[in-house]
Structure 1
């Protein structure tokens, strides 16, 4: 079973499972060069993240240099109630953002319905069972086990675990403010997969860095255009939080890569 999101969001989570400016980028590159001269043996062994294959340092440096100063990609989310856009935080949340982008580019989200919406709280989406808007299993699914995707920030390969889930990326203290996209999970570590929710209230109790709550939901993007569409989605008539009139995600297109 799932634990609370507070209690409410996690109940439907999967059971299985500002880009830096040029001056900043230059400063970081200079810092890396200095550090390399001091510790060449350490850095040439490769750069490794949880569940990723090591990337040669020179390749990682080239990838960083290419990405520095580049705007984050934008997800164009076309729903049956209208289209909204969201900046995806590839610069701050590379694993989580790359997972989302990989799924979107595969067409994984196309035809999936919002399976849980609560006014003045959030809209949850992304379960493959949600292709059937009335599925009793909506909220329990995720990507296929053992599949891989590329970390677009450094070129390394990340493998989803046996539950189709990715490593928790609890690194950036980005709060669950209105309009933010945040990962759904079961309440256990490393159980985020394809499902996420869009906050329509400042739900700070969901922040992974809020020590007063066990909830750990990392933010990986924010709605930048037509936020009102998301709010409208949360206000539709529901039965047990499921929209009575199904709301489909017709497509998610990634721009700016």
Structure 2
């Protein structure tokens, strides 16, 4: 094949396809009322998903539903809650309504990478209602969950011990019969660096 015919995936081409996602390491810090959770994001393995999360977190991505503060623009996750917590499994957030049914008003396709498997705890992944239904909801695992492989896009990992301790504390919080924490666990803001 001639060199002019080859498709190259440069940083600028990926940015055009998926949004402004750098090859550099990206970190998201979820500032919660229970402590900070620092997550290393995987833009090289899940570029669309990371671009979506970063854009919603910093308010640069458009969405058609109201955010957790009831506003039509700005940071999407600020003020939202972890609405579903299952000890030994995961903590779930990212729904501006706090019901498990809300989202940004759009959906996008899954991104599965062979290097990313649910074989350990503290993985950040998209919650969905089936293939191609990703929006804003996400979860962090608290144990290996291999039954989720190729069903949910993994796009980050909580790697430091202090953040893992916050995740574990949230995962063991008291919940009602529908797995909702009795005392709200609020994402006060998300900082991207």
Q: Would you call these one fold, judging by a TM-score over 0.5?
A: yes
Could you tell me which residue of structure 2 aligns to residue 140 of structure 1?
Answer: 101
Change (3 A) 1:89 1:59: closer
- DSSP-derived class of the 2:188 partner: strand
The yes-or-no answer on 1:181 pairing with 2:116 is no
Q: Which has the higher helix share?
A: 1
Change (3 A) 1:119 1:62: closer
Offset from partner CA, 1:163-201 (integer Å, 9 cap, x none): x111211234411220100111112x2101100110000
Query: Gaps spanning 5+ residues in structure 1: where?
Result: 1-34, 48-56, 131-137, 145-163, 209-215
- DSSP-derived class of the 1:60 partner: helix
**Which aligned segments of 4 or more residues in structure 1 are displaced greater than 4 angstroms?**
none
How far the C-alpha of 1:119 sits from its partner, in A, is 0.5
The yes-or-no answer on 1:253 pairing with 2:188 is no
Could you tell me which residue of structure 1 aligns to residue 5 of structure 2?
Answer: 41
Q: Distance in 1 between matches of 2:78 and 2:14?
A: 35
Name which one, 1 or 2, has greater alpha-carbon Rg: 1
The yes-or-no answer on 1:121 pairing with 2:95 is no
- DSSP-derived class of the 1:170 partner: coil
| Contact 2:11 2:22 survives alignment (8 Å) | no
Change (3 A) 1:62 1:90: closer
Aligned residues: 170
Could you tell me which residue of structure 1 aligns to residue 173 of structure 2?
Answer: 236
Change (3 A) 1:207 1:218: same
Q: Distance in 2 between matches of 1:244 and 1:61?
A: 42
| Contact 2:84 2:91 survives alignment (8 Å) | yes
Query: Gaps spanning 5+ residues in structure 2: where?
Result: 60-74
CA RMSD of superposed structures (Å): 2.4
